[in-house]
Every structure is written in structure tokens, then in C-alpha cells.
Amino acid sequence: MEEKIPNVQIYPCTQRVELNDKATKILFNLTADIYSQMIQRNCKYGVTEKKNHKKHGRIKSTFKIQNENGYTQIIELSEFDRAVFGVCISEYLNGNRYTTPAIILRGLTGKVGKGDAELSKDQRTAILQSIDKLMFTAFDPNIIDAFEKLNYDDGSLEKIVKAPLLPSKRIERTINGQKANVIYFTDEIPLLKIAQIKGQILRYDTALLDVPNQNNTPLVITLKNYILRRIVEIKKHKMTPALTFDDIFKKARITGKDNKTKLRAREYVEDFF
């Protein structure tokens, strides 16, 4: 007799939740050289939490990253990976313990609840590669001393220990009567807990990412998600209201690409605005 696969209900989130703390910003923008050294040599990275504290001077935390469970990839984390991470965090906080590549795509493109976001082979591959990175890259923070000095301690600091960036696994479930391979969130997300303790969270309506008739390649997704997060950050923190193409191209890692690629990227950005 065939084993019955459990059925699950998923209610995709319409609001994006993004972490805006320093550790998250640094982690997803490490250079290829620094990232590979951290993985291969077990190096730690210092995060300046405060430059000139009245009592303690410069206060720093540190973190390490490590591949786990036989994962051998040493390609650095990217803004695309951060966008996928943000969608997963949003789903997790919305009460969903399961998600799928198709749901993640809709979160990345602002098409939650819409029928015009069919998942292509390339999109699925890119999303699952990001999930693998997040699932099999362990984040090992050393934050207790720094956070206590900054009065960030809410009683749970000691519980934030080495864990996958996205504690999860892939399993088979039935969604709306159809068998599907889903991503199951197995535990709390350490970087989320850190950002919550520090109160460094951004939120926005996912629908703002939806540009009609735009081909949502990984590059386009990267550009839109980075730009919108920066705009929300600028507005929330009353920062200088400017965003340069140099910065956008650097974050999308196309600074060294040919002029044709950058010209198309400018067009994608203008369409988005």
C-alpha cells in the first residue's frame, strides 16, 4: 500500500520582511576571496557594532561561516541569495513552516496570489541553488559580550548558537492535492533573532516588486529586490535620498561586465522605478 503523503496548507505572505543588521549586510556582500578564506580556514569576521561607546570604546562582535553535511560550495553569498533568504524569513514569520520554489518566485517578483508567475527551469535552478547555500552554510556568531555591553540582551542571547543560515530540509508533501517537493523550516533562524533583538527589521508590500511584462531573470530579481530594500532603508532612517548606478551594479556584481549588460540593467532599473 502506498504511503500517504501529508497534506499542508500554505498561505503565502504578501509583506516582505528584511533583516537590516550589520552582520546580514556584511555576510551577503563578502568578496569571493574573503568568503573562500572564511570557509576553508575557519576565519572569523569582525563586525563593528559601535565605534565610540562612552564606556567601552569600539564594540565588536564576530562570526564564522562553515559548510556542513558534505556541502563543498565556496561561491560567495549574493544579493540574489539574500532576496531568497528574505522571502523565506517572511514566510516563516507569517506562520508558514513550508514553502516551495514557486512561492519563493512569487515573493521575489511581487506576484503573490497572481497566476502569471510560472516557474521556469532557470528560475527554479537559481532558487534551489540559493536554498542549498542557505541550508548548508552554518553561521557561528560570537555576540554575547558585545550585545550585553549595548544592552541588547533580551534573555535569549545564549540560545543564538551555531546553526544553518536557514535551518531547513527538503521533503515531499501534498499541496492542493498535488505532490510537491517543499522546503520545511525546522528551527529558528539565527540572523533573524539577532536582527529582532537589535530592532533592525525592514518591511514593505511585496506587490511593489511587480513590474508587468518584465522577464524576471536572476539579475532582474537581484536589481529590484536590492533597490526596493535600499529605498525602504533610506526612508526609514532618513538617509540621503540618493541611489547610484555604481552602487547598484556593485551589489548586483556586474561592475566588471560588458557595457551591453550594464545598459540592459539600467533599462531594467528604469522600468522598475
Q: What is the pLDDT of residues 50-102, one digit of tens each?
A: 999 999 999 999 999 999 989 998 999 999 999 999 999 999 999 999 999 99
- What does the pLDDT read at residue 153? 79
CB 250 within 8 A of CB 230: no
User: Is there a domain that residue 204 lies in?
Assistant: yes
Instruction: Determine the length of the chain.
Output: 273
**C-alpha–C-alpha distance, residues 139 and 271, integer Å:** 36
pLDDT tens across 122-180, in order? 999 999 999 999 999 999 999 999 999 999 977 889 889 999 999 999 998 888 778 88
- What does the pLDDT read at residue 42? 93
> Is this prediction's pTM over 0.75?
yes
pLDDT tens across 206-226, in order? 999 999 888 999 999 999 999
| The Cα angle at residue 203 between residues 226 and 76, in degrees rounded to 5 | 35
User: Is there a domain that residue 259 lies in?
Assistant: no
SS3 content of the chain, % helix, strand, coil (to 5): 45, 20, 35
User: Is there a domain that residue 190 lies in?
Assistant: yes
User: Is there a domain that residue 9 lies in?
Assistant: no
Confidence of residue 3 (pLDDT cuts 50, 70, 90): low
pLDDT tens across 169-184, in order? 999 888 877 888 899 9
> Which residue range is the domain that position 31 belongs to?
15-210
User: Is there a domain that residue 73 lies in?
Assistant: yes
Tell me the three cell numbers of residue 104.
Answer: 519563493
pLDDT at 246 over 50: yes
User: Is there a domain that residue 38 lies in?
Assistant: yes
The two most distant CA atoms of the chain are separated, in Å, by 69
How many domains does one find in the chain? 1
User: Is there a domain that residue 31 lies in?
Assistant: yes
Alpha-carbon dihedral sign for residues 152, 204, 90, 133 = negative
User: Is there a domain that residue 250 lies in?
Assistant: no
Average pLDDT in the 12-38 region?
96
- What does the pLDDT read at residue 175? 80
DSSP H or E stretch at residue 163: strand 163-164
- What does the pLDDT read at residue 133? 97
- What does the pLDDT read at residue 262? 95
**C-alpha–C-alpha distance, residues 110 and 108, integer Å:** 6
